[in-house]
Structure 1
Amino acid sequence: MEIFLDTANIDEIKKGVDWGIVDGVTTNPTLVSKEQALFEERIKEICDVVQGPVSAEVVSTKYEGMVEEAQKLAKLSEHVVVKIPLIPDGIKAIRTLSRKGIKTNATLVFSPLQALLAAKAGASYVSPFIGRMDDIGNTGMTIVEEIMDIFINYGYDTKVIVASVRHPQHVLEAALIGADVVTMPFGVLEKMFKHPMTDIGLENFLKDWEKYQEYLKNKDKN
C-alpha cells in the first residue's frame, strides 16, 4: 500500500520522504493557503521533494475551465496528478484529460457508483472521503470495500486513494481491505509509529545497556 501525505507543508513532506515511507502527496488550494504560499510554486516545490504523484486540485466547476487549469497544472511537473471534483462536468473533463495523457484524481467521492463513473471516464485515481462519511453516521470503509470489488470485477486500472483519514485505525482498515493508497495528515502518520510497549521496551533496553557499561567500567578498575 502506498502512503501519501495530505498536506502542503514542505517540512512535513521532507520529513516523511526522509523516513523513506512517503510515496506521494495530495493537496488543494485550502491546504496551500494555510502555508501562505503561492499555489503553483508550492506544487512545483512539493513535486521536487517527493518525486512521486502529487495531486493538485482545480478550482473551476465548469468543463472548459477544469480542462484549461488541468493542462496548466500538468505542465508544472511530470508528477502532477490533477484533482477533479466528481460532478458531471468533472467526469467529462476526466475523460478529455485521460485521452490527452494527463493523470487525474476524482475527488469528493462518496459512493461506489461515483467511483464507477470516474473509472469509466479514465481517472487514474478515485478518492473516497471515508472520514466525512463516518462523520454523518455511515461506515466510510464499507464504500472502499465496494469500490475495490467493482474495480476488481471489471479490471479497472484506476487506483483507490482512501482519503479524509482521521486516525491510524482508518489506515489499518484500508490496508486490510487492500486499498491502493491511503492519504493522511502528517499527525496520523506520526501516530503509526507509536505503541506504549515499544516505548517501554526501548527504555528498558537503554537502562540495561547503561548498567552493562557500568559493569565494564568497574571490571576494568578491578
Structure 2
Amino acid sequence: MKFFIDTANLDQIKEAQDLGILDGVTTNPSLMAKEGIKGAENIKKHYVDICEIVDGDVSAEVIATDFDGMISEGLELAALHNQIVVKVPCTKNGIKAVKYLSTKGIRTNCTLIFSVGQALLAAKAGATYVSPFVGRLDDICTDGIDLIRQIVDMNSYYGFETQVLAASVRHTMHMVQCIEAGADVTTSPLNAITGLLNHPLTDKGLAQFLADYNKLNG
C-alpha cells in the first residue's frame, strides 16, 4: 500500500520524505489556507515546491465547479510539473472533466467519493485515483472502511485500473483497516503514519536491550 501525506505543510512533507516511505502528497484549498498560502500564483508555486520535495504524485485540486473552469484550471495545474495529478470533485461536471483530462493523458484524482456508484462513474471516466472519504462517513455512523472494501472488490471484478485512495484517514487504526480492506493508497496526517511505529513491546524490548548492554559495559 502506498502512503500519501495529506497536508500543504512543507516541513511535515520533508519529515515524511526523510522516513523513506512517502509515495505522494494530497492537498486541497483548506490545507493551503491553513498554511497561509493565498493567491493563485502563490498556490501554484507551493505545488511546485511540494513536487521538488517528493518523488511521487502530488494531487492539486481545482477550485472551479463548472466544466470549462475545471478544464482550464486542470490544464494549468498539470503544466506546472509532471508529478501533478489534477484533483476534481465527483460531480457531473467533475466526471466530464475526468474523462476529458484522461483523454489528454492527464492523470486525475476524483475526490469526495461517498458511494460505490460514484467510484464506478469515476473509474469508467478514466480516473487515476478515486478518493473515498473514510472519516467523514464514520462521522455520520456509516462504515467508511466497508466502502473502501466494496470499491476495491468492484475494481477487481471489472478490471478497472483506477487506484483506491483512502482519504479522510484520521488515525493509525484507520491505516491498519485500510490495509486489511486492500486500499491501494492512504492519505493521512503525518501522525497517522508515524503512529504505525508505536508498540509498547518495541519500547520495552529496546529498554531491556539497553539495560543489558549497560550492565555488561558499565
Q: TM-score, normalised by structure 1?
A: 0.94
Matched, 1:177 2:189: no
**Cα distance between partner residues in 1 of 2:15 and 2:214:** 30
**Cα distance between partner residues in 2 of 1:177 and 1:77:** 32
Matched, 1:59 2:59: no
**Cα distance between partner residues in 2 of 1:36 and 1:163:** 23
**Cα distance between partner residues in 2 of 1:136 and 1:166:** 15
Q: What's 1:23 paired with?
A: 23
8 Å CA contact 1:40–1:76 kept in 2: the answer is yes
Matched, 1:207 2:211: yes
Matched, 1:144 2:148: yes
**Cα distance between partner residues in 2 of 1:79 and 1:170:** 27
Instruction: For residue 191 of structure 1, report the CA deviation from its aligned partner.
Output: 1.2
Instruction: For residue 102 of structure 1, report the CA deviation from its aligned partner.
Output: 0.6
**Cα distance between partner residues in 2 of 1:166 and 1:185:** 7
Instruction: For residue 189 of structure 1, report the CA deviation from its aligned partner.
Output: 1.2
8 Å CA contact 1:2–1:22 kept in 2: the answer is yes
8 Å CA contact 2:146–2:181 kept in 1: the answer is no
Instruction: For residue 211 of structure 1, report the CA deviation from its aligned partner.
Output: 1.3
Instruction: Work out which of the residue numbers 87, 94, 112 in structure 1 matches 2:91.
Output: 87
Q: What's 2:82 paired with?
A: 78
Instruction: Work out which of the residue numbers 49, 52, 72 in structure 1 matches 2:53.
Output: 49
**Letter of the aligned partner of 2:20 in structure 1?**
G
Greater than 4 Å deviation, 4+ residue runs: none
1:113-166 Cα shifts (integer Å, max 9, x gaps): 000000000100000001100010010011111111111111111000011012
The structure whose Rg is larger is 1
Q: What's 2:169 paired with?
A: 165
8 Å CA contact 1:29–1:39 kept in 2: the answer is no
Matched, 1:119 2:110: no
SS in 1 for 2:149: helix
> Unpaired runs of 5+ in structure 1?
215-222
> Unpaired runs of 5+ in structure 2?
none
Q: CA RMSD in A?
A: 0.8
